[in-house]
Structure 1
Amino acid sequence: MNNLLPLFVVGCGLWLSFLGVWGRLSTFRTGSGAGSAGEPTSRASAAVTVKAKVPTSLRIKQIGGLFWFCMGIATLWFSGIRDPRTRPNSWTLASVGLFWVVIGVWEFLTTVPRRVRRQLLSEENGRLAEIVTQHVEQAFPEGHVGLVVGAIAKDEEILLGFGARQVRGSQPPDADTVFEIGSISKAFTGILLAQRIESGELELDDRIAELLPEGWSLSEPAREITLRHCTTHTSGFPRLPANLLGISDVFHMLLGGDPYRDYSEEEFRNALATVKLTCDPGTEWGYSNFAAGLLGFVLATQNGTDYETLVTSKICQPLGMHRTTITNDDWLREHMPANYRFVLNLGPASFGLKSDEWQLPNHLAGAGAIRSTGRDMMTFLKANMGLIPTPIDAAIQRSHQVLFQERADRAMGMNWIRSFESAISQNIIWHNGGTGGFRTYLGFTEDHQYGVFVLSNTAIVGVDALAAGILKTLVRDQGPVSLPQSMATPR
C-alpha cells in the first residue's frame, strides 16, 4: 500500500492539471468559459483598468499548480539531500522535487489574473460594454496582449480596445490600430467573385484552367476545377502549394519568420502545373489557402490588375474603408502594434516572442494578405449585416448564399462559413484568420441582428471562442427575433 501512495498522489496532480488544460481547450472550442455579465463598466472614453476574472478551468489549473508546488517542497524536504549517505537516491528525489516546484510555480503564475486596460472607442453603450468586457476579462488570462472588439446588437453598437499594443505596455489598441486579418481576407475575395457573377462576366462553373494567364496551366487532374470549387474549399487542392515550405523555411517560420516572404510567381506557376489533388473536385471539403489564393489571383488577372488594387477599388473604396490595405506605408507602420507568436504571463510580468509581419505575394494575397483596423472592420461588419446602404449590397448578400453543404450543421458560401448554432437556433455566417502574430474573427447571425469581430495581436491564443461567446450572450440578452422556418434550421 505504501508503494502505491506516491503513484496515487502523482496521479491526483496529473488529473488536476489535465482538468485545467481540458477546460481551457473546451473554452477555445466552444466559448463555454463565458458566464453572465458582471459589474457595470466605466462610461468614460479614456482608458480604464479592469481586473481579469479567472474562469473555473483556470481555477482548477491554479489548484494543480499549488498541488505540484507543495509536492515538490515535500519531496525536497524528505529527499535527504542534506545527508546523501542516508539515502542513496537523494539526488534523484531532489531533482524530481525541484522539477515539481518549477511546474507548480509555472502553472500557478500563468493563471494569475492581470489588470486589463480598456478604452472605449465609440459612443458609450452600457449594456453592450458590460457584455463584451465581461467576456474579455475571462479570456485575458489565457495569454492575450491587445484586443479590439466590435459588437452589434440590433440597432446598437460598441467598439472597445483592451490590453496593450505591446507586452508590458500601457496603451490599449485603438480604432485605428492596424491588424493583419489573415484569412478574413478570403471573405473579401468571395465578395469580389460575387461581383463578377452579379455582373454576368463570370459563372460559378467556369473552369479555372480557362481563366489563367496565357502560358499557364494546371495539372491534368486539376483541369476540371471551377470557381465554385475554389470558393467553397472543394477543389481538392492541398492546404498549401507543395513547393512553398522547404526545411529552411520551416525553421524560419518557427523562429517567427514570414513563410511567404520569398515565394515567387514562377514557383506558384510551377505548383499549379504539378498540383496533386487530395480528392475529386466538388466531392469533399478541404480548407485550402492554395485554392483561395488562386481564386484571388484569377479574379485580379481577369480584371487586368493586381489583387490589392482590385480589392481596394471594388470593396474598400465603395465602403469607405480607407485604412484597409495590403502594402506597408508610413501610416500603417506607425499604427501597427507589436505582434507575438508566443506570450508567457507570469503573474503581473509578461514575456513575448515577436513575429515578423506576413507579406503574402500577389498570387496568394486573396487567401490572407489584408490588414485593417477596428474602425474599418466595423464598417465591413455592418455592410455584411445590411445595416448601411452600399453600392455593392447585392454582391455582398450573394456571397453569403449556400453553395456547398459540408455537413448537416455547416455549409459554405463564397468563402464564408455558415455554422448552425443550436444555442441560438440559427446560422452564424463567419470567418476567422491567423498569421504569425495575429488572430481574428468576424461573424454575424443570419437574421442580421447580431454581429461581432475580434482583432488580436497574439497568435498563441485563438479568438473564436471569445467571439462566439459574445455573440451568443448578445442574442440571449436581447432575445432572438422571429425567424422564418428556413433560417431556423441548419443549412
Structure 2
Amino acid sequence: GGDRLAARLDEAVAAADAPDAVFAVSRRGRRIVRSGGTAPPPARPRDSLRYEIGSATKAFTGLLLTRLVDRGRLSGAEPAAALLGGHPSRDGCPATLAHLITHTAGLPALPPGFLARALPAWHTNPYGRYPGDRVVAAFLRHPPRHRPGTRWRYSNFGVAVLGHALAAATGTGWQDLTERLLLDPLDLRGTSVRSDADGRDATGHRKDGEALPPFDPGGFQAAGAVRATPHDLLTFLEAHLDPARAPDLAGALDAVRTPVLRRGLGHRHVHTVAWFRHPTDGGPLYFHSGATLGQQAFIGFRPDTGTALAAVCTRRYRAHDPFGAAAYALLADG
C-alpha cells in the first residue's frame, strides 16, 4: 500500500546519502513524494527545485524527434551531414537522424579532441568549453568509426549532433523546439532547457561535498541540458503512461515505446528511440538515467502497473551507486 511505498521512498532518500535527494512515484495517478538530504534544507522545498537530469535529457530529445516525424516534418531517415551543410557520406551509408538517436551512427562517446579542450575545466564545466559549432565541425570532419547502423555505442556526441541537425532542418534551435513542442503542450513550467539565474535550481556537489557551479552543456544541449522539478518529471512520465492526457503528443508518445533495436546476449537489451526497455514479470519497464558533474537523475515508467518514478539527487557517484540501484529497484518492484 501507500504507507509501505512511502517508507521505501524514505529508505531510498536516506540510502542516497546526498546533500539533497527526492524520490517521487506516481501510481495510477496518485503521487507520493519523499525528500531529504545530508545538507541543511534549502530555502525552497527540495521537491520544488529544478535538478540537472543530464543524459535523461535524451528521453526528451527522442520524443522531440518522434513528434517532428509524427507531424510529417521529418522522416528520421535524413542524413544528418546533409542537413548540417556537409557531404552525406563518402561510402554511401550516411548517418541518419535515426542512427544518431539510437546510438548506432558509428560515433565515439565524445568528439575527437574533446578531452584536450575540456581538460582545463574538467572538474567544473568541461562541456561548456565545447560549443555547438565545434560539435558540428567535428561531426562533419571525422567519418564514423563504424558503418552506421551496424554497432551500438552510447554517444553523447551523436545525440548532441542530432539536436543541431533538428535545428538545421526546422530553422529553430533545439531549446525553442523543445519548449514549443514538448514543454508547453505538457505544461512543464518547472522545466528549463536554458540557464536561468532565478534561484530555483538545486546546487550540485562533488563526491567530497564541495558545491559546483550550474552545469553548462556547451554544444551538447540535446544530450544533457534539461533541468526539472521532480513533479514535472512525473508529469512527463504520466503522459507516457496515458498519452490521452496530451492529445497533440499521443502519436509521438506511442512511438517512443516501440522497440527499434535489440542487442546483447539473447537480445535482452532493448531500446526505443527514447528509452532503455527491460522486461519484468508483468511487462516492460522503460527508463533512462543521467548525471552531471554534481547531480544525478533516474526517470522511468511501467505501463503494466501504471507506475512512474522520478528520482534526483545533488551528488554524483562513480561506483557502487546506491542512488541508481534504489531507483531502478523501486520501479522494477512496482
Same fold, TM exceeding 0.5?
Answer: yes
Note if contact 1:217-1:272 (Cα within 8 Å) is conserved in structure 2: no
Note if contact 2:285-2:303 (Cα within 8 Å) is conserved in structure 1: yes
- Deviation of residue 161 (structure 1)? 1.5
- Deviation of residue 385 (structure 1)? 1.3
Matches within 5 A, 1:83-482: 125-137=2-14, 139-140=15-16, 143-163=17-37, 167=39, 169-171=40-42, 173-212=45-84, 214=85, 216-217=86-87, 220=90, 224-246=94-116, 249-253=118-122, 256-331=123-198, 334-343=199-208, 352-361=209-218, 363-386=219-242, 389-390=245-246, 391-407=248-264, 408-421=267-280, 424-447=281-304, 449-460=306-317, 462=321, 463-474=323-334
- Deviation of residue 339 (structure 1)? 1.1
Q: Which runs of 5+ in 2 are unaligned?
A: none
Q: What is the CA RMSD across the aligned residues, in angstroms? A: 2.3
Note if contact 2:28-2:306 (Cα within 8 Å) is conserved in structure 1: yes
Structure 1 residues 150 and 274: CA distance shift in structure 2, 3 A = same
- Deviation of residue 382 (structure 1)? 0.7
Note if contact 2:205-2:316 (Cα within 8 Å) is conserved in structure 1: yes
- Deviation of residue 454 (structure 1)? 0.5
- Deviation of residue 395 (structure 1)? 0.7
Partners of 1:231 and 1:387 in 2: CA distance: 22
Note if contact 2:215-2:292 (Cα within 8 Å) is conserved in structure 1: yes
Structure 1 residues 371 and 393: CA distance shift in structure 2, 3 A = same
Write out per-residue CA displacement over residues 337-378 of structure 1, whole angstroms, 9 at most, x where no aligned residue.
2211213xxxxxxxx1232322123x4211111111112111
Partners of 1:396 and 1:296 in 2: CA distance: 19
Q: Please tell me the residue identity of whatever aligns with 1:341.
A: R
Partners of 2:273 and 2:206 in 1: CA distance: 30
Partners of 1:308 and 1:161 in 2: CA distance: 29
Partners of 1:300 and 1:176 in 2: CA distance: 31
Note if contact 2:50-2:201 (Cα within 8 Å) is conserved in structure 1: yes
Partners of 1:374 and 1:261 in 2: CA distance: 25
Q: Which runs of 5+ in 1 are unaligned?
A: 1-36, 38-124, 344-351, 475-491
Q: Please tell me the residue identity of whatever aligns with 2:252.
A: A
- Deviation of residue 148 (structure 1)? 1.3
Matches within 5 A, 1:61-80: none
Q: TM-score, normalised by structure 2?
A: 0.90
- Deviation of residue 155 (structure 1)? 4.1
Write out per-residue CA displacement over residues 80-121 of structure 1, whole angstroms, 9 at most, x where no aligned residue.
xxxxxxxxxxxxxxxxxxxxxxxxxxxxxxxxxxxxxxxxxx
Note if contact 2:243-2:253 (Cα within 8 Å) is conserved in structure 1: no
Q: What is the DSSP-based 3-state SS (H/G/I as helix, E as strand, rest coil) of the residue aligned with 2:129?
A: coil
Structure 1 residues 342 and 134: CA distance shift in structure 2, 3 A = closer
Note if contact 2:135-2:161 (Cα within 8 Å) is conserved in structure 1: no
Higher relative CO (Cα under 8 Å, sequence separation at least 6) belongs to 2
Structure 1 residues 193 and 354: CA distance shift in structure 2, 3 A = same
Partners of 2:316 and 2:178 in 1: CA distance: 25
Query: Identity of counterpart residues, as a percentage?
Result: 26
Partners of 1:448 and 1:210 in 2: CA distance: 43
Kindly tell me the number of residue pairs found equivalent between the two proteins: 327
Larger Rg: 1
